[in-house]
Chain A
Amino acid sequence: MSELTELYQEVILDHNKRPRNYQVPSGANRHAEGFNPLCGDRFTVYLRVEDGVIQDAGFQGAGCAISKASASLMTDIVKGRTLEEARALFDRFHDMVTAPMEATADADLLGKLAVFAGVREFPVRVKCASLAWHAMRAAVQSASDPVSTE
């Protein structure tokens, strides 16, 4: 049960139950969809980018607890970061959920994202944890065309 507790930490369960930033931010000018065809998880990540800085972030969609909590925490942490910093965070997050991390190297930078370290023990769930991150990176790299508001 211990690895399970590592995976489903309180923070993750809380963000799953009450996801933060679960909306399209006003003035959003970039977005990208993340879709995992294996399990049907599907999230769209929205960013408002001004002068190379992510001023606001949000997401919409549906998925498992890991993917939803990850989207929630990701949108929290990228707010106020430059696009360059957001890309670097993606790399660090990706490293953390795929390979053993050096003890303290990124603990400060990743902050509460460290709760996803337990995903390492569940290789098939890595895609869940990184889904919204992939969407965020795609949004960062996308042209700044406006989000349609249907």
Chain B
Amino acid sequence: MSGIGVKPQPDVLDVERVREDFPILGRRVHGKPLVYLDNAATTQKPQPVLDALFRYYTGSNANVHRGVHLLSQEATDAFEAGRVSVQRFLNAAHASEIIFTRNASEGVNLVAESFGRLKVRAADEIVITGMEHHSNIVPWQLLCERTGAILRVVPITDEGELRLDEMERLLTERTRLVAVTHLSNALGTVNPIPTIVEMAHHHGAAVLVDGAQAAYHMPVDVQALGCDFYVVTGHKLYGPTGIGALYGRQALLEAMPPYQGGGDMIRSVTFEKTTYNDLPHKFEAGTPHIAGVVGLGAAVEYIRGIGLDRIAVHERDLLEYATARLNEVPGLRLIGTARHKASILSFVLDGVHPHDIGTIVDREGVAIRTGHHCAQPVMERFGIPATARASLAVYNTRSDIDALIRALRKVREVFA
């Protein structure tokens, strides 16, 4: 990390103190205290993020990059400060390498569209993996349909780890790009990104990393990872929905054609010729989600204030505890047992469909996700229609896990 701003403290995370920052954690669900374990779907929002949104709309609301009046200047400053916050959060070399998007999916689509037009031709190849979220599959399928390129899929092991030997075999001089998740939303697997980047670059292929799940669980340094693109979404970073960011290496972004046309992304327009704006504005057509960027900026500063190192240690302890407790539940099988895992506990229970598990534990106040987690190929790989998934965040405690275990006992009672 760059070392600017609030340095992570070496001491242990004070979870109770953190929980006080999240007003929603005080509510009750079906008469029980809320136990929120659906963080991989979206995280809850801390007060500093809510305050930033309120302050922006009550104090500085205006359009950006175009007004001479004070409010427009303040809005522009707040917006660009959000970009610098995200730059520092991902340790990008330049703020102009941060492109704001609606979410991680839009970041992937932007790259598939724009990088695709720059580099991908018929019979070229795109390599993805067997553990991708639909949002890191479908944009590449669309690109392949459009260009005649071929999609290759790196298989995964029974534990949910990438077959790097197979990846090596799939990488050729035809490979234009490798798209891989940093942290699997369905399995919890953390992929060895620097190794993958080295392999891909050796074959001249670019690398896009889907960081939607990873970025709130572990420090992300895009320069150390060496990847060409990294996408995140604000609502999983304790920020608002509808805002995400794409990091792209400057030289690549400069060479890539615009994604969408509109205001802000141009320098001059005539009916004969339009010249495009510089980075990052070239990729940000139209009035952006200004409040979203303000909220996202506040969210990543909030995370930096706590320190992702401390968060990672806290969540690793919780993951180990939860894994041990879940393994004690009769008939329960964890799906995704990679050596390097984070934050995700996907499981099935003998004789009980995940959907029924979800309904029953909900009545105990425990929110988990059930279904295919937008990763149908992963479900198919493991021969199951769905899993139940508990996913952790900074504010979860061992007592949340205990509540889940108690709720699973209720499931057993109903399905005795």
User: A interface vs B, CB < 8 Å?
Assistant: 1, 3-4, 7-8, 13, 17, 38-42, 62-66, 68, 122, 124-125, 128
Contact = CB atoms under 8 A, between A and B. Distances in A.
Interface centre among A42, A63, A64, A122 (most CB of B within 10 A): A64
Contacts of A8: 356, 360, 414-415
B415 A40 contact: no
A39 B371 contact: yes
- State the 8 A-B residue pairs at the shortest beta-carbon distance, nearest first: A64-B353, A64-B355, A40-B385, A40-B386, A39-B355, A39-B371, A65-B356, A64-B356
B96 interface: no
A7 B359 contact: yes
Nearest to B360: A4
Contact of A38 (B371, B414, B415): B371
Contacts of B360: 4, 8
A40 B414 contact: no
Interface string B376-387: 100100000110
A21 B4 CA distance: 67
Contacts of B386: 39-40
16 contacts: A7-B359, A8-B360, A38-B371, A39-B355, A39-B370, A39-B371, A40-B372, A40-B379, A42-B385, A63-B355, A64-B354, A64-B355, A64-B356, A65-B415, A125-B355, A128-B355
Nearest to A40: B385
B348 to A, nearest CB: 12
Given A4-B360, A62-B385, A41 B355 contact: yes
B359 A63 contact: no
Given A1-B363, A122-B359, A63 B353 contact: yes
A112 B415 CA distance: 20
Contacts of B352: 65
A63 B355 CA distance: 8
B371 A40 contact: yes
Interface string B337-373: 0000000000000011111100110010000001110
A120 to B, nearest CB: 14
Contacts of A4: 359-360, 363, 410, 414
A26 B376 CA distance: 33
Nearest to B385: A40
Given A3-B363, A64-B356, A65-B353, 6 more contacts: A1-B363, A4-B360, A40-B371, A40-B376, A125-B359, A128-B355
Contacts of A42: 385
Contacts of B410: 1, 4
B410 to A, nearest CB: 8
A4 B356 CA distance: 10
A64 B359 CA distance: 11
Contacts of B363: 1, 3-4
A150 B196 CA distance: 42
Contact of A41 (B351, B379, B385): B385
A40 B353 CA distance: 11
Given A1-B363, A40-B371, A66 B356 contact: yes
B150 to A, nearest CB: 27
